[in-house]
């Protein structure tokens, strides 16, 4: 996103308005005018700082790195909602495994806006092009000029595919048994890990590390695997509350309760 003439005109007009307001308060406000003017300065300074951190700072960084950044590739590990919305577009935090031009892989994060028309644009496992700050490799931006491609699962050979099918079938059978006899409970997702393959389309096969919160028993931690609907990936990110069923005699037997 570029800082066009309209943005600069709006900023200039706002600054002039603030200066005029402060001058008016100082001229007619009497002895208390200086305190009122000081209050106006503090409030607007705080607003401008917040606006810069959320909007102009990332915009300026993106413009700079599009020109000077080092091209690289990154695989999305997690997608988290930041709770911030700009022009009806939600901002997300992406946890990335970045591969730089030297073939080195490291983990970093980036915040970016998602169109409200494409809320599931970013998914764990997707490979996205990035630009890396040559001064600090932990600072990256998504390189929109190169497009975005989902990670392929074609690297799985026939033996691995058959093994995966067996694993999924076993999980399905164990999950069905636990759903029939298990106890329903709330749980908090602590970690979401994509396991490198999609199931029945673009549904990622993932492992969740969770904290189970039974109503009448102590909380405990566990892991659960399963295929997550591509439309529901955001609901299973760290910090989200989900429902599970567990065997009270064996806390290792857990399954996601989709009901």
- pLDDT of res. 108: 93
Mean pLDDT of 206-225: 92
Which residues touch 78 (CB under 8 Å, ≥6 apart)? 94, 95, 124, 192, 237, 238
Reply yes or no on whether the pLDDT at 216 is more than 80: yes
For 139, phi then psi, to 5°, come to -95, 115
Structure confidence at residue 155 (pLDDT): 43
pTM of the model: 0.44
Does residue 222 carry a pLDDT above 90? Answer: yes
- Of the listed ranges 117-126, 176-185, 223-232, the one predicted with least confidence: 117-126
Which residue would you say has higher pLDDT here, 52 or 18? 18
Task: Report the pLDDT value the prediction gives residue 211, as an integer from 0 to 100.
Answer: 95
DSSP string covering 179-229, please?
HHHSEEEEEEEEEEEEEEEEETTTEEEEEEEEEEE-SSS--EEEEEEEEPP
Give the model's pLDDT for residue 219: 94
* The predicted structure's pLDDT at residue 151: 45
Q: Report the pLDDT value the prediction gives residue 89, as an integer from 0 to 100.
A: 75
| Band of residue 152 on the pLDDT scale cut at 50, 70, 90 | very low
The CA distance from 136 to 109, in Å, is 13
Read off the pLDDT of each residue in 7-23 and give the average, rounded to a whole number. Answer: 61
* CA separation for the pair 96, 75 (Å, rounded): 6
| Start-to-end CA span in the chain (Å) | 42
Does position 61 have pLDDT exceeding 60, yes or no? Answer: yes
What secondary structure letter does DSSP report for 11? H
pLDDT at 2: 44
Please, what is the average pLDDT of the chain? Answer: 76
Which pLDDT band holds residue 214 (cuts at 50, 70, 90)?
very high
Confidence category of residue 109, pLDDT binned at 50, 70, 90: very high
């Amino acid at each position: 996103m570029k800082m066009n003439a309209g943005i600069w005109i709006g900023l200039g007009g706002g600054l002039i308005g603030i200066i005029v307001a402060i001058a008016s308060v100082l001229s007619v406000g009497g002895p208390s005018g200086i305190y009122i003017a000081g209050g106006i300065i503090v409030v607007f300074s705080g607003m401008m700082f917040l606006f810069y951190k959320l909007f102009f700072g990332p915009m300026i960084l993106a413009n700079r790195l599009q020109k000077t950044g080092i091209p690289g590739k990154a695989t999305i590990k997690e997608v988290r909602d930041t709770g911030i919305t700009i022009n009806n577009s939600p901002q997300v935090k992406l946890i990335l495994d970045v591969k730089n031009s030297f073939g080195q892989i490291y983990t970093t994060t980036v915040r970016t806006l998602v169109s409200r028309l494409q809320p599931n644009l970013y998914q764990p496992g997707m490979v996205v092009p990035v630009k890396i700050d040559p001064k600090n490799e932990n600072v990256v931006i998504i390189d929109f000029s190169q497009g975005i491609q989902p990670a392929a699962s074609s690297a799985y050979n026939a033996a691995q595919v058959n093994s995966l099918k067996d694993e999924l079938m076993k999980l399905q059978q164990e999950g069905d048994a636990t759903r029939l006899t298990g106890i329903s409970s709330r749980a908090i997702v602590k970690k979401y890990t994509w396991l490198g393959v999609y199931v029945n389309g673009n549904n990622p096969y993932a492992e969740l590390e969770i904290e189970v919160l039974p109503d009448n028993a102590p909380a405990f931690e566990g892991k659960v695997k399963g295929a997550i609907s591509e439309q529901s990936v955001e609901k299973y990110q760290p910090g989200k509350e989900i429902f599970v069923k567990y065997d009270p005699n064996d806390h290792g037997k857990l399954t996601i309760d989709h009901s």
